[in-house]
Amino acid sequence: MSRRALALVGAAVVAFGAGLVCGATHQSDAEKSAKAFARAWSGGDYAAMYRRLSPDAQQRFSTAAFRGAYARNGTTATAQKWTIGKARGRGGDTYSIPVTVTTRAFGDIKADVLVKASGQGIEWRPYMSFPGMAAGEQLTRTTKMPPRAELLARNGTPFSKLPDIAPDVLGGVGPMLPDDVARLTALGYPRDAQVGTSGLQRFLQERLGGRPGGDLRAGSRLLAHAEPMPASAVRTTISPAVERAAITALAGRLGGVVAVRPRSGEILAFAGIPFSGLQPPGSTMKILTLTGALEAKLATPKSKYPYATSAKLSGVTLDNANGESCGGTLAQAFAVSCNSVFAPLGAALGGMRLVNVAERFGFNHPADITGAAMSTIPKASEIGDDLAVGSSAIGQGRVQATTLEMAKVAATIALQGRAPKLTLVLPGHDRSAPATRVVDPKTARTVRRLMVGVVRDGTGVRAQLPGVTVAGKTGTAELETTKKCPPTPPPTELGQAPIPESCQDSASRTDDTDAWFTAFAPARKPRIVVAVMLVRNGAGGDTAAPAARGVLIAGLKRPG
């Protein structure tokens, strides 16, 4: 055979083979729809899944009804993960999609979901939204809860044997709070379950409640059964000794106290409403403003400012607390908490940079502790003019914080710019745990140095400890129109600045300001962070700082 003839035969063979391949890979419109539907399901793209439905199915079921079927059945089954395989033909217009649903209460549920497909798309019906269901069936669950686990202090002592502190930390059990319904029902709890509603019982509900059991049914058919599984006793981070100090510090007043071991993020004690009480943080917010100003190189600790009793922003006069005159270097202004310096500094920093700093420290993000309130600052686009930004920079305006958040702020400075992950359960995080870098170490060290000045000779002197260097920041958040003390005369020397947040005049009101103090010790190698917030209880330096002192002392001892 000639070379040309051989070439022609070879070409014919190649063409024939290509025809076989093309014929073998040809897909009908129905098969394309089924496979595309399965791929979209695997990616959790319900919009793409809905687009693959036939016109008749889309006419019968709205997008909301379609999505709702998957969401409702997933919640009923306590679904945690969906694994979707490839669609395969079963003959005729039927295609099978292998589905595995990993559930919290019932383990893995595996079955093929059979779908009908045509050239127009998937002839979808609600039973196709969960494996094992047949036409006309609905997915239901009956639940049985295990007994609650026992709570232990960090030394292993059951709180039932610590009656002097148990009422302050344990909290109560009852019907679900509205904020917890979606989360707990998704875990398999029935709506009428008795769950933690406050204190450790609420914050650690998922560890205490164990794993629900019961039956999962499609119509009258049993799809899965599981026995309820109780949780083991939960050893918390709470130190009885530090907790007693926190209770003593609060002294029955409305407010919050929290103590944290910074390197591990372990919460050693809490009293009152440190997780839920949102209040304007007052001048403790100046820790963040100072951080932002140093980062933006707007100032250094030696920058000098004129002495004044007020500042004007957006045409409005913003007074120092009680009309005192203050100024001097940035370090001195921070030590005495000078609004006439820090409000304009915050305005110069600007809303965008101020909010950025606050969000890095934890504002506008869910708290580390489940159930704790989120501390907030308005978004940069919503914060307002220079007056609003300046007010936010000194912890007024629409800024809201919990005592827990301001403890985390201090802990972040204590860890040289790393924000710890706070926890109520032992073992806590070790030193290599994921503390998040949010501030440059050099900047954090400068802020720490200025916080030392607050306690050494500023508004926080009443938190001083013999032989231990304490770093802290006071705050006095005005809630209404504060009656002024008589203005203190301007100082004659830079080192003799008055204390704007301290007001000892017996005629002044102390019930229209929140008192704040957040601190850590020892300043260079911190072992304890304490934050105190006292609602309508005077000035931070007068009431919150001395309240924190006893908790600092207890925390510096070996917690047990």
324 falls in which pLDDT band (50, 70, 90)?
Answer: confident
> With 60 as the cut, is the pLDDT of residue 493 above it?
no
With helix as H, strand as E and coil as C, how does 38-61 read?
Answer: HHHHHCCCHHHHHHCECHHHHHHC
> With 60 as the cut, is the pLDDT of residue 456 above it?
yes
- Render pLDDT for 473-482 as a digit per residue (tens, 0 to 9): 999 988 864 3
Q: Which CATH number fits the domain 240-556, given the four candidates 3.40.710.10, 3.30.360.10, 3.40.50.300, 3.40.50.1220?
A: 3.40.710.10
Residue 69 CA, distance from chain mean position? 30
> With 90 as the cut, is the pLDDT of residue 209 above it?
yes
Contact 290, 354 (CB under 8 A): no
User: Residue 90: CB partners within 8 Å, gap ≥ 6?
Assistant: 96, 114
Record the tokens describing residue 467, joined without a space.
């032989």
CATH 3.10.450.100 region(s) of the chain? 29-134
The model scores a pTM over 0.85? no
What integer best gives the mean pLDDT of the chain? 89
> With 90 as the cut, is the pLDDT of residue 435 above it?
no
* Exposure on the CB side of residue 196, measured as CA atoms within 13 A: 24
Q: Which residues of 402-438 are buried (b: 16+ CB within 10 A; e: fewer)?
A: bbbbbbbbbbbbbbbbbbbebbbbbebbeeeeebeeb
Q: Please tell me the least confidently modeled range out of 125-134, 371-380, 382-391, 487-496.
A: 487-496
Alpha-carbon distance of 87 to 79, in angstroms, equals 21
Contact 418, 434 (CB under 8 A): no
Read off the amino acid at residue 76. T
User: Which residues in 324-458 belong to E strands, given as ranges?
Assistant: 326-329, 418-419, 436-437
Mind giving me the DSSP string for 308-342? ESEEEETTEEEEPGGG--EEEEHHHHHHTT-HHHH
Tell me what pLDDT residue 502 has: 41
Contact 460, 519 (CB under 8 A): yes
Tell me what pLDDT residue 323 has: 81
Tell me what pLDDT residue 59 has: 97
Number of other residues whose CB lies within 10 A of the CB of residue 170: 18
> With 90 as the cut, is the pLDDT of residue 284 above it?
yes
CATH 3.40.710.10 region(s) of the chain? 240-556
At 305, phi and psi to the nearest 5?
-135, 145
- The CATH code that applies to domain 144-235 is 3.90.1310.10
Most confident of 15-24, 420-429, 549-558: 549-558
506 falls in which pLDDT band (50, 70, 90)?
Answer: very low
Q: The tokens 């669950």 sit on which residue?
A: 141
The reply to whether CATH 1.20.1260.10 applies to domain 29-134 is no
448 falls in which pLDDT band (50, 70, 90)?
Answer: very high
- Render pLDDT for 26-72 as a digit per residue (tens, 0 to 9): 689 999 999 999 999 999 999 999 999 999 999 999 999 999 999 99
Record the tokens describing residue 150, joined without a space.
């026992």
Contact 85, 98 (CB under 8 A): yes
CATH 3.90.1310.10 region(s) of the chain? 144-235
427 falls in which pLDDT band (50, 70, 90)?
Answer: confident
Tell me what pLDDT residue 516 has: 97
